[in-house]
Amino acid sequence: MDAARILRDVFGFDGFRPGQEEIVDAVAAGRNTLAIMPTGGGKSLCFQLPALVRGGVTVVISPLIALMRDQVRGLSEAGVAAGALTSGNTEEETDSVWTGLTDGTLKLLYMAPERLASYGTQRMLQQAGVGLIAVDEAHCVSQWGHDFRPDYLRIGELRRALDVPLAAFTATADAETRAEIVEKLFDGVQPETFLRGFDRPNIHLAFAVKDSPRSQILSFAKERKGQSGIVYCGTRAKTQTLAQALGQAGHSACAYHGGMEAEARRDIERRFQQEDGLIVCATIAFGMGIDKPDIRWVAHADLPKSIESYYQEIGRAGRDGAPAETLTLYGADDVRFRRTQIDEGLAPPERRSADHGRLNALLGLAEAQACRRQNLLRYFGEDPVPCGNCDLCDAPPETFDATTPVRMALSAALRTDESFGAGHLIDIVMGADTAKIRERGHDALPTYGVGREWSKRQWQAIFRQMMGLDLVRPDPERHGALRMTEAARPILRGEAQITLRRDTVQNAKFSPAVRQMVSEENAPLMSALKAKRRALAEAAGGPAYIIFNDKTLVEMAETKPSTLDQMARIGGVGATKLEKYGRAFLEVIAGAVEEVHPARMKLAGRSEGEVYDRLMAVQADLARGPIGTDKPMSCTAAQLAKVAKLRDADAAAVERILGPRHAERFSDAFLAVLNAS
């Protein structure tokens, strides 16, 4: 049966959506394929239909049980023999799958990537006559992607073992993610690649600065009462409080997050699929497996973590092609929260730097000066025209020439060696009188006090827009200090001008500061220390506080010890913890740390440690005797440590530790050190 007839007879469509037919042809012909298609663009059909054209069974690797169950249910309704092997199966469902595999009638077998860890699974698939592997949500294979699943890395091994073609599908994949998909799934050999347009023209895009965010969400929902919607929240607690507030306002609403029991989550997924007008307040745990076509709106109560996440989350709206709306709220606290998440992550520095760039891209979209859809699609490599379907096309914002304040900010960063965050740079340009400025002599800089005409809140808004334009980016290697990008240099040199939005600067909202454990300037270092603590705790298989509690990390972030002696004086750093963890945390704070002998380590933070160091210096001077011509001689570290700990020392005591030969050369000098201490 040819593809067109299957499309009509099995799936009930008279024709393909734009871009589908070429992908279906490539997959059906058995060519390795990578397809990047917009959310709601019909990517499932692009592997389901070829599975019916080709012989054998098609294995579909999918990340979520809910998604698999929905697709199996839909295929079964269409008369297609499909099944899934998941932890949520009933005994009858699993028996049915095995029967279909044994008698050769099963056409599509869905499974999660984690199941590939079993050797028995691979052996079963080799015996089942697999003819094609399809990988849904293929960005999960990439460390650069926003939903990394390490078991996806086993898929390339499965492809080699079965020696069958592979088709990979995703809705969001920038250049780095695409490259890693090719490397991990296709052994670096470029598959036939289809990059379909990312535009979803039926979705209206809007952003707003937070100003009583709960009221903003309630107002947005009120105007759309009776329509199905999703409110994405940054925390589990907020999903519950917002769902309660929406319920009290007369909406049908519920909360959904990863901390709920599996059965409760499944019940909400079922309700959302079946009920009209239900609002789900959810963390990002909700959505990837939801294929509800008539979601009319998506709101973000908090800023998403990246532009890719934003695109995928709003893409859950309007999959039926009818008009849909979005609203994303953002504020300074959101940006700090997302920066902290990146800084405290365990990714390598280059990955964290790229993640800061992705967050900057989302800030750029939030602070855009013209058509949001143009900004969004340019990020994905397209060259669109203004859309007429976003808040900025509806009412363009007023802009102003911000070259002067931006140059002030860039100059302050450059003149302080790009070693500080926005808080300290704002203090400099505003001419603040702080201990930090005085200690570093920054009140003598030419840029000191040049920006007094702007308030602190306005400067914060200027810096936020500068990040959105990717003129500055936090440096993970330097605990969040702002570094200029190449795009900033022409502005600093006076070769280019820059405009900013006047509304988000002039109307910068005041909000009570969230109580922080450390100052804004030390927050990136605190994040780095927490990340190190978490990595050590995970390696040890215990809770993080067992290594150091928060109070100890706060003291480290504020005092910034640079030696083991200084580290030993931090509250909560005992001798054992200093020996086990001291170097690791010092490297986060100060970079490279000199090797220290264990005998010296035991004296760290004590007066005997300083005595030990002076004894070492004296010993070095006398290593070849008083005039430098004798045979080289030195004491062991253990001997020096014992001498350093002597009380009321005399020559006899020193000789008992060193022995007569060494005492003859060093005793007088060592006693002089001890008596001077």
Task: Please give the C-alpha separations between residue 495 and each of 73, 472, 489, 598, in angstroms, as whole numbers.
Answer: 61, 17, 8, 56
Q: Are residues 167 and 238 in the same domain?
A: no
| Beta carbons of 181 and 139 less than 8 angstroms apart | yes
Whether the pLDDT of residue 114 is over 60: the answer is yes
Q: How far apart are the first and last CA of the chain?
A: 95
**Minimal CA–CA distance to 306: which of 335, 347, 332?**
335
**pLDDT bracket for residue 1 (50, 70, 90):** low
Q: Rounded to whole angstroms, what are the CA distances from 372 to 14, 313, 393?
A: 34, 16, 8
Higher-confidence position of 39 and 305: 305
Same domain, 422 and 527: no
Output the six-digit token pair for 201. 């023209």
Domain boundary among 131, 161, 195: 195
- Reported as half-sphere exposure (CB side, CA atoms, 13 A), residue 268 has a value of 22
Over the stretch 642-675, which tens digit does the pLDDT of each residue have? 888 888 788 888 888 888 888 888 888 888 888 8
Are 181 and 280 part of one and the same domain?
Answer: no
Give the mean pLDDT of 438-456.
93
In eight-state DSSP terms, residue 486 is G
CB 64 within 8 A of CB 72: no
User: 314 falls in which pLDDT band (50, 70, 90)?
Assistant: very high
Q: Are residues 383 and 406 in the same domain?
A: no
Burial class of residue 311 (count of CB atoms within 10 Å of its CB; 0-12, 13-18, 19+):
buried
In the chain, the amino acid numbered 598 is: P
Of the residues 134, 160, 195, the one at which a domain ends: 195
How confident is the model over 549-572, as pLDDT tens digits?
778 888 898 888 888 888 888 887
In this structure, are 567 and 670 located in the same domain?
no
CA atoms within 13 A on the CB side of 398: 6
Cα 397 from Cα 375, distance rounded (Å): 15
Q: Is the pLDDT of residue 256 over 90?
A: yes
- Which residues, including other chains, have CB under 8 Å from residue 218's CB and lie 6 or more apart? 245, 246, 249
What average pLDDT does range 464-475 have in this prediction? 89
Is 602 domain-assigned?
Answer: no
What pLDDT sits at residue 40?
66
pLDDT score of 143 more than 80? no
* Domain end among 543, 560, 595: 595
For 21, 76, 134, the CA distances from 24, given in Å and listed in that order, are 5, 20, 12
Instruction: With respect to residue 146, please indicate whether it lies within any of the assigned structural domains.
Output: yes
Q: Write down the pLDDT at residue 193.
A: 93
Assign residue 237 the CATH number of its domain. Answer: 3.40.50.300
pLDDT greater at residue 430 or residue 576? 430
What is the pLDDT confidence band of residue 609, given thresholds at 50, 70 and 90?
confident
Q: What pLDDT does 511 receive?
A: 40
Give the pLDDT of residue 289.
54
Question: For residues 301 and 334, what is the distance between their CA atoms, to the nearest angstrom?
Answer: 10
Per-residue confidence (pLDDT) for residue 430, from 0 to 100: 95
Give a yes or no: residue 218 inside a domain.
yes
Tell me how far CA of residue 34 lies from CA of 27, 62, 173, 181, 662, in angstroms: 9, 15, 11, 9, 74
- C-alpha 505: how far from its chain's center? 28
Mean pLDDT of 583-600: 80
Distance CA 155, CA 60 (A): 11
Residues 275 and 290 in one domain: yes
Per-residue pLDDT for 391 more than 50?
Answer: yes
Under 8 Å between Cβ of 75 and 134: no
Q: Report the chain's C-alpha Rg in angstroms.
A: 31
**Residue 260: its pLDDT value, please?**
87
Question: Are residues 494 and 376 in contact, defined by beta-carbon separation less than 8 angstroms?
Answer: no
Are 76 and 219 within one domain? Answer: no
pLDDT of residue 507: 59
Q: Is residue 600 part of a domain?
A: no
CA distance 588 to 562: 10
431 Rama sector, left if φ>0, alpha if ψ -120 to 50, beta otherwise: left
The per-residue pLDDT for 512 is: 36
Are residues 542 and 566 located together in one domain of the fold?
A: yes
Res 48: pLDDT: 95
Pick the more confident residue, 24 or 631: 24
Answer whether residue 514 shows pLDDT above 50: no
Does 601 fall in a domain? no
254 and 329: one domain?
Answer: yes
* Residue range 355-368: mean pLDDT, rounded: 90
Whether 420 maps to a domain, the answer reads yes
In this structure, is residue 553 part of a structural domain? Answer: yes
Question: How many domains does one find in the chain?
Answer: 5
Decide if 253 is inside a domain: yes
Q: Please give the mean pLDDT across all residues of the chain.
A: 86
> Is the pLDDT confidence value at 346 over 70?
yes
**d(Cα 521, Cα 38) in Å, to the nearest integer?**
40
Q: Which helix (H) or strand (E) holds 307?
A: helix 307-314
Asked if 506 and 568 sit in the same domain, the reply is no
Dihedral, CA atoms, 506, 511, 515, 518, nearest 10 degrees?
A: 0
In a shared domain, residues 188 and 132: yes
pTM value is 0.67
pLDDT at 532 over 60: yes
Q: Say yes or no: 75 and 164 in one domain.
A: yes
- Please state whether beta strands 33-36 and 192-195 pair in parallel, antiparallel, or not at all (unpaired): parallel
558: domain CATH number is 1.10.150.80
- Residue-wise pLDDT tens digits, 162-209: 999 999 998 877 778 888 899 999 999 999 999 877 888 899 999 998
- Domain coverage including residue 631: 607-676
